Structure 1
Amino acid sequence: MNFFLQITNDTLTQAAGAIAENVEPNHEISTLEFLLQGGVFLIPIGLLLFYTIYVIFERWFYISKATQNDPQLIQDVKSHLLDGNIQLAVASTQRDTTANSKVLKEGILTAGVGRPIGEIESNMEKMANIQIGEMEKGLGALGLIAGIAPTFGFVGTISGVIKIFYSISISEDISIGNISGGLYEKMISSAAGLIVGIIAYSAYHLFNGRIDKYALQTQKLVLEFINIIQRPNGNKTK
């Protein structure tokens, strides 16, 4: 009996070893190799990603520099205007290149030639709109990429699925391995497109939020400047 059990155990051990030898080890691939499984539609998605990153960094530095707020600037301008020194007031606005400096400079120059309050305010608002337009450059592209990148991904996936079912119709091989392997490869493009779209969408709204905040600050700045150049009797500072 013991001899029979020993033979049985040896047989099972040998069978298990044979099965283990026939089982293929898991094939690990790098991240780059994994992404390349997504197909040709990853090329435009990758290009959109690089352009998105470029626009994000370029706009971030530009908007951050343009919207810097120097509380001392308006105080210096106020001091020079109350002293009647237009040139020093203009010089104060030229010490940096922020959007607020350009808006104040436009107001000072308009006030310096004796234009009415309404025209001064209008010119300052026009200059503020110009600065906002400069900040918004490139943001339209981010909004477009937010919609295009996921579309490229979905088209890549659909194209891959069509190829899978075409191959099945030709080979008549409908094994789960073939179908699932092909699907996971083709859905990589969808995932990549969605990621790029989310990045572009988030950056688009983040920058627009900062620009809206600047627009509100500019309205306060224009109002403060108008209050500075008006005397209690309604006359302007000469």
Structure 2
Amino acid sequence: MMLLLQVAADTTAKLIDTANQATQQLAKIPEEDLRFGDLLIKGGWVMIPIGILAVLGLVIFFERFFTIRKASKDESHLMTQVRSSIHSGDLQSAIAICRNSNSPLGRMLQKGLLRIGRPIKDIEGAIENVGKLEVAKLEKNIGIIGIVAGIAPMFGFLGTIAGVIKIFYDISKTDNISMGVISGGLYVKMVTSAAGLFVGIIAYVCYHILNMMVDKVILKLETDAIEFIDLLEEPSK
């Protein structure tokens, strides 16, 4: 019995000593930090077009965002001033007010005021044509953001595929199929897919935000144009 206890004690001591040695060896292994900047650099040449697309999309988004927001400002005071000038019979004052407003609605109303004296259909047509031009100006370059949303993920997948091809090429040359070689190169190349998807998602969201803003401006312009036509028809009622 004593012999069994002695053997068990010796075995336990050896296990504890082995565990302590393993812990010390693990503690000596330097930890490698996964730095975001290093991953971007290791992503390869594909990160360059993805970065260009990201910058291009952001520049267009902010430029269009502030332009559309400026066009969507409240123009109720403009309609009030135009209505007052028309009721007082001062057509030139109404035209000057619209010209000085320097806004899409102002340019639409100015074109309508310049057509006063012609049939209502002609006035409506002139206002509608100006409105189309103003909307086209607001939508300028928004389609490019849509293109960025579509091709950025493709560049990311292209980088990953190129990385996988390189990994298998290296394996064929070195005959080394260790997991370290495969996973080490693959996780770096997956960075391109992540970056491409990230840029694509952001561009997709920005694209639809701008489109929703433009739709709101169009609705407001149409509402004000109908109000203006109703104002011109008031004397004939």
Q: 1:27 aligns to what SS in structure 2?
A: coil
Matched, 1:196 2:196: no
Identical positions, percent: 39
Provide the rounded CA distance (Å) in 2 between the counterparts of 1:116 and 1:10. 101
Query: Would the alpha carbon gap of residues 202 and 6 (structure 1) be closer, same or farther in structure 2, given more than 3 Å must change?
Result: closer
Post-superposition offset of 1:10: 8.4
Aligned to 1:135: 138
Runs of at least 5 residues in structure 2 that lack an aligned partner in the other structure: 1-5
Tell me if structure 1 keeps the 8 A contact 2:85–2:93. Answer: yes
Tell me if structure 2 keeps the 8 A contact 1:110–1:120. Answer: yes
Aligned to 2:61: 56
Query: Would the alpha carbon gap of residues 133 and 7 (structure 1) be closer, same or farther in structure 2, given more than 3 Å must change?
Result: closer
Matched, 1:96 2:101: yes
Matched, 1:171 2:161: no
**Matched AA of 2:25:** I
Provide the rounded CA distance (Å) in 1 between the counterparts of 2:80 and 2:20. 91
Tell me if structure 2 keeps the 8 A contact 1:42–1:189. Answer: yes
Query: Would the alpha carbon gap of residues 7 and 83 (structure 1) be closer, same or farther in structure 2, given more than 3 Å must change?
Result: closer
Matched, 1:15 2:21: yes
Runs of at least 5 residues in structure 1 that lack an aligned partner in the other structure: none
- Which of 104, 126, 129 pairs up with 1:126? 129
- Structure with bigger helix share is 2
Post-superposition offset of 1:39: 1.1
Post-superposition offset of 1:51: 0.7
Q: 2:176 aligns to what SS in structure 1?
A: coil
- Residue deviations 1:171-218, cap 9 Å, x none? 121111211111111110011111111111111111111111211222
- Tell me the number of residue pairs that the alignment of Structure 1 and Structure 2 aligns: 231
Which shows bigger deviation, 89-98 or 138-147? 89-98
For normalisation by structure 2, the TM-score amounts to: 0.89
Aligned to 1:39: 44
**Matched AA of 2:182:** I
**Matched AA of 2:105:** N
Tell me if structure 1 keeps the 8 A contact 2:81–2:97. Answer: yes
Which shows bigger deviation, 30-39 or 2-11? 2-11
Matched, 1:219 2:222: yes
After superposition, the CA RMSD in angstroms is 2.2
**Matched AA of 1:167:** D
**Matched AA of 1:212:** D
Tell me if structure 1 keeps the 8 A contact 2:71–2:217. Answer: no
Query: Would the alpha carbon gap of residues 144 and 4 (structure 1) be closer, same or farther in structure 2, given more than 3 Å must change?
Result: closer
Post-superposition offset of 1:88: 1.0
Provide the rounded CA distance (Å) in 1 between the counterparts of 2:63 and 2:107. 21
**Matched AA of 1:24:** I
Post-superposition offset of 1:20: 3.2
